[in-house]
Structure formats: structure tokens, C-alpha cells
Amino acid sequence: MGSSEQGEHAIHMMSTEEERRYPPSAEFAAQANAKADIYERDFDEFWETEGRTRVSWFEPFNKLYEWEMPYSKWYLGGKLNVCYNCVDRHVESGAGDKVAFYWEGELEDTRRTVTYANLQSEVVRFANVLKSLGVKKGTPVAIYLGMIPELPVAMLACARLGAPHCVIFGGFSAEALADRASDFEAEILITQDEGYRRGKPLALKKIADEAAANTPSVQKVLVVSHSGGDVAWNEGTDIRYDDLAKDASSDPASCPCEPMDSEDLLFLMYTSGTTAKPKGIIHTTAGYLVGAATTHYYIFDLKADSDVYFCTADIGWITGHSYILYGPLANQATSVIFEGTPDFPDKDRWWDICERYGVTILYTAPTAIRSHMKWGPEYAQKHDLSKIRLLGSVGEPINPEAWIWYRDHIGGGKAPVVDTWWQTETGSILITPLPGITTLKPGSASKPFPGIDAAVYDESSNEVGPGGGGYLVLRKPWPSMLRGIHNDPNRFLSNYWSLFPGNYAAGDGARIDEDGDFWLLGRVDDVMNVSGHRISTIEIESALVDHPLVAEAAVCGRADEITGQAIVAFVTLKGGAKGSDDVIKELRAHVGKKIGPIARPATVVITQELPKTRSGKIMRRLLRDVAENRALGDTTTLADPNVLAEIQRQAQAK
């Protein structure tokens, strides 16, 4: 995979077997949305029935799917609208007064309660504003917003008009934003004056301006007011949302939901791959919505009438798309959307939110759980979390200690924990426990969801039986699977479909135990997972070599107690310069500017040379050994063995 030396990524087996088992309580099982017979359902019947049940169609589909490797189409012939499914139909059926979401601002006491009827008005108004700017079916709209109420509103407004959106996470730099918006050929860029980060304003508009200046396709920048702070204004391009919104109609009849074909583009979501260029993952309308709604219903056991659901992800990532926005709203859930961070103003912020809104289902990431573990359970103990009945985890393998802590301290020692495996590309959860059925094992994502055919293969495409380890593959298409990479069909083919011909290679290692349960082991390619964010080693390397002082760079991950992985960069400077703390500081800042703060290396090691094979390939495997401070693997292909001793000395000096 990638440019790695062959077989460089050995799959490390877990040495100790986790023995703890947690069967569902009889009480939970009796009321669960998914009962044991769900696993007996036939593939076609499952997706056909769910397609008809979870989604309202303007015109029914007449063919379940078509599969021409590597492209699938789902629910062919159907017409529908995602916004109609997430908003209008709930108002029409009389649930207009039901809360769609409680919005909690980062600053205390900035709160809003948004009912489905409110949401409909806001979305229609936003859609009318977009329409007045010329947005129509097919117009690409980029969205660079923090977690403010206008973010879901803007996305739903795009879906209403049939305009594909691309949300770019608010933590990305101007350059990263421009790269993505240009590749998408966005015509409109929606941003806000400022966001907040731990009580301080974050200059989103300023970053958006810099990006827009480098994105020729962008004609208008639509600015939502949030902080009310002063921002620079570009007369020709900038438009204040409030100026247009005050005259825009919020009557749904003024802006009907555009009937979309099942396979029309809904959105792109950029994610890191094994090269410097991020991939624009394509998701279409019907299959994506069915996948998100179906998994959300069964895995989170959603009871629309009584649950309060809180997913702590940012809507700027796929988790937020599928499990804050589209899945929950399609299922008429009541959610919490939180703008801020878990430790501001104090480390009990989430637990305060859970208590105040009566959260019953919480979905978060292992890295966050480990931070809370470090801070101690006393923050959770200050609050009444007794309503929590189900917990979810996503983003990286969860270590059993964090799993148990989560269940004990947040779930009152009884809430089931669903460890959900999926990816930007898969659109929805594919490997997961079902909370009323599965006997849980801390650290295992359990079994493929009904209608999903997952397996573990060895390097020669042989299925690995119970007890074995290898590569996670998907053998059949599924409704919410990616439809390709925007502008790059060859990369789609080579990245996912060439390693195990005919099968989708997820890029993750996995082990399968005697009961057929899956244990995910992390990435097997040049992709790191830092705090649940996917980051490519090569993207960081190319940011580093872009700095005038840098000659060469190699990046790898090392294990980190809190963030899962931390980024280590090995750098050689031009002219063999020695480097200094200031240079290291500057290089870290440079990566932050090129990509975003999440990509800043935790450690920068400046060295005279990098370990290479005789043919000149950087041996990242050995650098990983150095970064992890463990014994070096096979060094026989190394051109100059002395290089490593030097690097080890440098790294240990850190």
C-alpha cells in the first residue's frame, strides 16, 4: 500500500486475550429495536425492507441494486429528497413541536431549542437565500462553519435544493480549505464571522477569505453572523446572510424539496489517503440515507419518543454527517448539538449537558474517554447521569480499560457500550454490536451489521478462520458505500479494489476470534489515527518538505496514551544544518499552517540522514521502531546501518 516497502506493515497480534463478557440485560433485550432474528434476514430482503421503511419516497425504487465492481448503485429508479426525509415529513405527520435538537453554545448560557417546525422554517429560509444567489440542483456549495445551528441548517438547505455540499472541518487551515473547495469546484462558500475555541474567538471568516482568494471557482462568500465580531469585508464577493434572510420566505411552499434521483450526489467528504492529496469521497442520496438511518435506528436502539441522543463529534467529519445530522433526523430523534470542548469552562461540561438535557444515548471517541479517565471520574460523579442507557464509541480501537471505565463511570455500570467500526468511505457503521443481542467483549467491535459481508483475508486473499489475523475486507456492496473518489477513478480502483480483487480493502488490520467476533487492529497503510482523526503520513511529509529549510522528511505514528497515536517527524535540513528548538517550533507551526493544528507533529527529530534501502526508499518501519522506542526490526536491507544509531541518539535526546 502507498509507497511503503513491501510487507512493511506487519499486523501485530494482541498478546493477551480479553476475557470479560457482558451479555445484554433481559430488560434491555426485551425492548430493543433489533432482536436476534435480525441476523437471519436475507441480504436483499434486509436492504429492500429497510429502504422502504426508513425513507419516504416521492417515487418508489424499482431495483434494489446494481453491482459493477467497483461501482454500485442502489434503489434504482427511486426519487426522494433527504431534507424532506429529515425535516418536512416529520412536520407533516404532526411532530412539528418535537425538539429536533438542543443547541448548546460554547459560551455558557448561549442555548437554543430547535423544534422540527423551527428547523423547517430555518432551512427553507436558508434555501431561499441560497436560491437568490443562484444555487440550484447541482451547484457545488462548500461549507466552512463551526458547530453552530446554521451548520445543519445550511446542509439541509443544500439537500433541499439538490445542491451537493462539502463541509470542511473548521480546524482546517486556509490552504487545506482551498485545496478541498477547489477540487470540489465550489461556487459558494458559506462561513461565519468567528467561532469560539475555549472561550476565545476563532477567525473563521479570515481563514475563509484567504482560501476563497485561492479558489477561482468560488463566486460568493456567504457569511453567517455568530460572534458579532468585526471582520474584514470584500465588497464584490461577501454577502451577509442576515441581509438576505430578513426578506426570505420561511414558508415551505415557497421552496419545495427538489425530487432527487437515488444516485444523485448528496455530498463530498474529504479524507486523507496515502498520498499528499486528500480524497473527495462521493456519497449519493438514497443509499447513504438508508444506511445512516437504518444503522442509527438499530445500533443506537433509538426510541424517537423518549431518547435524547448526544453525539460529540464535529459535523465537519463523517461521524457528524451520518450520526448528528442525517441518521438521527431521518429517525425523528431529539439530539444535543454542542459547539464547544469537553473541558471548557471545566472538565464536567459534557456531564452537565447530559444531566441538563437528560441524555439517554451518548456517542463519542476513545480519545475523549481516555482524557476523561485522566481527569478522573469525579467530574462525572458531580452530575446525575442515570438516564444514560446506551454508550457508543467510534474512531479507533478502544482499549478494554477505557471501555470498562466508560461503562462504569458514565454508563452506571450497566449501559451497553457499542464499539462501532466504519469509515468516511463506508458512510455508515458496518461492524458493531447490537445492544439487545450481543454479548459484549471490551475491545471488540463484534460482528458485521445485518446486510454487511465482512471478512478477514490473508495477503493471498484467503479467508482467515477463527483465531487468525489479516486484512479487513468487504465482499459485497452496501447501500451507503462510497461511489468513488471525486475526479480520480484510478485512485478509487487502486486504493480499495486492487489488493484483494473483487473485494473492498478497508486498510485496517483485524483479528477474528473463535466466536467470529472482529477485533480491529488499526491501519495497515501510511495513515495515522490521531484523536480519531485520520491523517496521512505523506501529507505531513509534503507539508514539511515545503518549508525552505527542509531537505527530507519521514513521518510516522507512535502510540500515545490519550490520542491513540501521536505524530513523529524525522527531518533532515538542507546543507546538513543541525537545527535548534526554534527550528523545531517553526516546523511544527508550518505544518499547522499548511494543514491545520491537528496535523502538528508531537515530536520533531532533526537528523543528518534518514534510513533508506539501497534503492533509496525511506524505511518507515524502522523509524516507527525508533519512535516507539522498541528494538529494531530487520535491518538487512538498510543501505547504511550507522544512520539508525544516529537517529536513535537524536530521538532519545527528545
Interface with ligand WT7 (CB under 6 A): 271, 318-319, 394-397, 419-424, 445, 506-508, 520, 522-523, 529, 532, 534
Give the closest residue to 391 by CA, choosing from 368, 424, 422, 423: 368
Q: Give the residue with the Cβ less far from ligand WT7, 334 or 529.
A: 529
Least Å from the CB of residue 494 to ligand WT7 = 17
- The strand pairing partners of 510, in sequence order, are 470, 520
Residue 137 · residue 163 · CB < 8 Å: yes
Least Å from the CB of residue 530 to ligand WT7 = 10
Least Å from the CB of residue 355 to ligand WT7 = 27
User: Beta strands of 449-563 (E only): which ranges?
Assistant: 454-457, 469-474, 504-512, 518-523, 527-530, 533-536, 550-560
Residue 619 · residue 570 · CB < 8 Å: no
Residue 173 · residue 167 · CB < 8 Å: no
Q: Give the residue with the Cβ less far from ligand WT7, 155 or 224.
A: 155
Least Å from the CB of residue 349 to ligand WT7 = 22
Q: Give the residue with the Cβ less far from ligand WT7, 208 or 527.
A: 527
Cell digits for 251? 414558508
φ/ψ (deg, to 5) at 545: -70, -15
Decide: residue 15, CB within 10 A, 0-12 exposed, 13-18 middle, 19+ buried. exposed
Give the closest residue to 331 by CA, choosing from 340, 320, 322: 322
Least Å from the CB of residue 23 to ligand WT7 = 20
Q: What whole-number distance in Å separates Cα of residue 526 and Cα of residue 446? A: 25
What value does the CA radius of gyration of the chain take, rounded to a whole number of Å? 24
Give the closest residue to 177 by CA, choosing from 204, 147, 151: 204
Least Å from the CB of residue 66 to ligand WT7 = 25
Q: What whole-number distance in Å separates Cα of residue 320 and Cα of residue 323? A: 5
Q: Give the residue with the Cβ less far from ligand WT7, 85 or 271.
A: 271
Q: Give the residue with the Cβ less far from ligand WT7, 227 or 364.
A: 364
Q: Give the residue with the Cβ less far from ligand WT7, 255 or 429.
A: 429
Q: Give the residue with the Cβ less far from ligand WT7, 347 or 558.
A: 558
Q: Give the residue with the Cβ less far from ligand WT7, 366 or 611.
A: 366
Q: Give the residue with the Cβ less far from ligand WT7, 595 or 606.
A: 595
Least Å from the CB of residue 432 to ligand WT7 = 8
DSSP for 323-361, please give it. IIIIHHHHTT--EEEE-S-TTSSSTTHHHHHHHHHT--E
Least Å from the CB of residue 423 to ligand WT7 = 4
Q: What whole-number distance in Å separates Cα of residue 532 and Cα of residue 555? A: 18
Least Å from the CB of residue 318 to ligand WT7 = 5
